[in-house]
Structure 1
Amino acid sequence: MKTLLILALATVTLHAQQTPEVPDWAQPGSPTHKQVPPPADFHRPSKIFNNRIGIFDGEADVGSALVPGSASYDPATKQYTIHSAGYNIWYSRDEFRFLWKRMSGDLSLAADVSFPNPNGYNDRKAVLIIRQNLDDDAPEAMAGQHGTGMVHLAARLTRGASLRDYEYRLSAVGLPSSSNGLTTLHPKRIGLEKRGDEIALYISVEGEPLHQFGPPIRLHFDGPFYVGIGFTSHLPATSDTAVLSNVNLVNSAGQVR
């Protein structure tokens, strides 16, 4: 009887570890729940891993999502596969897996984006991002591609401020299709360029050369800062996957390709 009781307690403990408690504010928007910002001054220290992965110096679970993230690189296919939970990259703090490189000065960054899981949350985001540091509330500029195919440029101008969505966005739209009348637009490649304090979004919709989409925003970063790729599932305790491939990162402007 004592052995059975110990096993039952161990099972309960394991189940509790596998299903972390999610605060109500972290739940994504739905027909029955309105998405809200995190509480004022809420933070989780980021978990930082200084192991090289592909061209990047290290990885981090920015904001320490309730489920740890992971990533891998396949040099044969030039693909970075990123697994991450995390309630969002938005508002006054972020939760996502980040592959980073410390840099200064101008830069050009681009990648192909895909989502292997067709049933992930629509607002999941694969991102190209520049961050002042690895804290969850750091100033940042982000080119994000959502699960729906929408691409946009956003920035947190100061530490702890809410992320601002600049309306230079390409939305997922219905296009003619021979099979069912409409098809969803998923851009082939996105890019981000830093030229001084100006940061611009680049996009390739159907495989054409990357071209600037909308005017640049202005945001100053003190070097060295952190540059790289990342992903959040937009689900606080459920991991999903993004694949970013053919990543091009150059320490100069005008090289987005």
Structure 2
Amino acid sequence: MKRKGYFIILTICLMGYSAISQRPAGIFADAADVGPVNHTGNTTYNAETHAYRLTGSGANIWATKDEFHYAYKRLSGDFILHARGKLLGEGVDPHRKFGWMVRTGMDTSSAMVSAAVHGDGLTAIQFRRQPGANVEQVISPVKQPDVIQLERRGQSFLLSVARFGDPFWTVEVPFFEFPEELFAGLFICSHHPDILETAEFDNVRIVIPAKPDFRPYQDYIGSHIELMDLETCRRKVAYSASNSLQAPNWTPDGQMLIYNSEGLIYRFNLAFGQPEVLNTDFVNRNNNDHVLSFDGKMLGLSSSSGEEAYGSLIYTVPVGGGVPKRITTVGPSYLHGWSPDAKWLTFTGGRDGVYNIYKIPSDGSGPEVKLTDLPTLDDGPEYSPDGNYIYFNSTRTGSMELWRMKPDGSNQEQLTDDDFQNWFPHFSPDGKWIVF
């Protein structure tokens, strides 16, 4: 019923090295050619799509020296480098390659680790443990992945790759004696000294993971609100904050997001890019289970602003703000959905330590109605846009899977059965898709 955020570090350090450098691009501090390349490379950043395009040459990244183009910054400690990328055009040499790279220096023979995808599909974590040493590698069985991740975890580096939509394949290579601060960034190498090749990257993120002593829901490492184009699956950061931002909900007109942070509800105008507090009067300990009615006129809230013994209770308020009306008499109650006609609310209720699915009249005029009755966890109920079903998630068969039932609780049927833990089904406005 709660979600975690993560924080991208944007500290920029400009560096003076003999490599030919460009102006900073996006989240990177600089871009430069490494090694004696014959043709100057280039990095461009599209501020609208948040995509990067790297063009570069270079004989190879192998043996005892490297030649390539690099967009980079300095990072310290543990980090995760994540991107989706592809080579453009047919290319000249099948061993042209692109990906992420971490280096101890900008010299052609510096120690380094790279997550490299080649033009012929070969994918590997390639590394030079000491300056001037020969490159070693561990080859991935995944060919031509477009999702590339390189993680530093203590003295280890982890390569994770996948074709978009598939699970990661991961390998860990330990025992690197690298300094605390490293260069990290995207690279392109043409594998031919007289040829320029180009790679394009999107969904580029540099993530600083939580510390080992991190305390969930007590410590926060910051958040992004991101927007994803469902056709291209390209993501953009719409807003960032150093505290916790939770559960953005689209308004039906697509102009605003409604989210919660530190107990308050905020409206975020996408055109202006700035949040404002929505007045919910005395209901000021909201959690992340808030839901807009289908017509966008009302907002349901889950909040611990009532009797402390009950924890979360459900309230409703006009979408423009005002004094909320309490709906549930007991708790904990976590709201997840409105019926399309706005007459009912469906929620997860904890009663005597057991969490099941309930519904209740949205005006508070009647008692809650229990729809599921099992000792396992049922959660995340949401009406389908046609009102014919309530979709939810349940552990009743062992793992967390998606289910649906009629609005009266009858005809409960399982929808997923796989190796994943499936939570919180949400419908597209036209009712054709579910995201979970």
Task: Compute the TM-score of the two structures, normalised by the length of structure 2.
Answer: 0.43
Q: What does the per-residue CA deviation read over 1:164-192, in whole Å, with 9 as the maximum and x for residues that have no partner?
A: 1124x2354xxxxxxxxxxxxx3120100
Aligned to 1:79: 51
Q: In structure 2, the residue corresponding to 1:138 is in which secondary structure? A: coil
Q: What does the per-residue CA deviation read over 1:7-64, in whole Å, with 9 as the maximum and x for residues that have no partner?
A: xxxxxxxxxxxxxxxxxxxxxxxxxxxxxxxxxxxxxx95242621110000110003
Structure 2 matches for 1:40-79, cutoff 5 A? 46-49=18-21, 51-79=23-51
Q: In structure 1, the residue corresponding to 2:120 is in which secondary structure? A: coil
**Is 2:198 aligned against 1:224?**
no
**Is 2:171 aligned against 1:199?**
no
Q: In structure 1, the residue corresponding to 2:54 is in which secondary structure? A: strand
Change (3 A) 1:140 1:253: farther
8 Å contact from structure 2 (residues 57, 195) kept in 1: yes
Aligned length: 197
8 Å contact from structure 1 (residues 145, 151) kept in 2: yes
Once the two structures are TM-superposed, the CA of residue 122 in structure 1 deviates from its matched residue by: 0.8
The one-letter code of the counterpart of 2:101 is I
Once the two structures are TM-superposed, the CA of residue 253 in structure 1 deviates from its matched residue by: 6.8
Q: Measure the CA separation in 2 of the matches of 1:248 and 1:113.
A: 12
8 Å contact from structure 2 (residues 142, 169) kept in 1: no
8 Å contact from structure 2 (residues 99, 148) kept in 1: no
Q: Measure the CA separation in 2 of the matches of 1:206 and 1:58.
A: 28
Structure 2 matches for 1:97-136, cutoff 5 A? 97-136=69-108
Aligned to 1:189: 147
The one-letter code of the counterpart of 1:242 is A
Q: Let me know the Cα RMSD of the aligned residues.
A: 2.2
Percent of aligned positions that are identical: 30
Q: Measure the CA separation in 2 of the matches of 1:233 and 1:46.
A: 21
Q: In structure 1, the residue corresponding to 2:184 is in which secondary structure? A: strand
Q: Which runs of 5+ in 2 are unaligned?
A: 1-16, 212-436
Aligned to 1:152: 124
Q: In structure 1, the residue corresponding to 2:194 is in which secondary structure? A: strand
Once the two structures are TM-superposed, the CA of residue 217 in structure 1 deviates from its matched residue by: 3.1
Q: Measure the CA separation in 2 of the matches of 1:85 and 1:54.
A: 22
The correspondence for 1:239, drawn from 160, 183, 196, is: 196
Aligned to 1:252: 209
Could you list the structure 1 runs, at least 4 aligned residues long, displaced by more than 2 angstroms after superposition.
214-218, 251-254
Change (3 A) 1:253 1:64: farther
The one-letter code of the counterpart of 1:188 is D
**Is 2:63 aligned against 1:91?**
yes
Q: Measure the CA separation in 2 of the matches of 1:104 and 1:228.
A: 13
Instruction: Pick the structure with greater CA Rg.
Output: 2
8 Å contact from structure 2 (residues 96, 191) kept in 1: yes
Q: Measure the CA separation in 2 of the matches of 1:207 and 1:220.
A: 34
Q: Measure the CA separation in 2 of the matches of 1:97 and 1:46.
A: 14
Which structure carries more relative contact order (alpha carbon 8 Å, separation 6+)?
1
Q: In structure 1, the residue corresponding to 2:145 is in which secondary structure? A: coil
Aligned to 1:140: 112
Once the two structures are TM-superposed, the CA of residue 113 in structure 1 deviates from its matched residue by: 1.4
Moved more, 134-143 or 111-120: 111-120
The one-letter code of the counterpart of 2:166 is E
8 Å contact from structure 2 (residues 78, 154) kept in 1: yes
Q: Measure the CA separation in 2 of the matches of 1:218 and 1:75.
A: 38
Q: Measure the CA separation in 2 of the matches of 1:215 and 1:68.
A: 34
The one-letter code of the counterpart of 1:170 is P
The one-letter code of the counterpart of 1:57 is A
Q: Which runs of 5+ in 1 are unaligned?
A: 1-44, 173-185
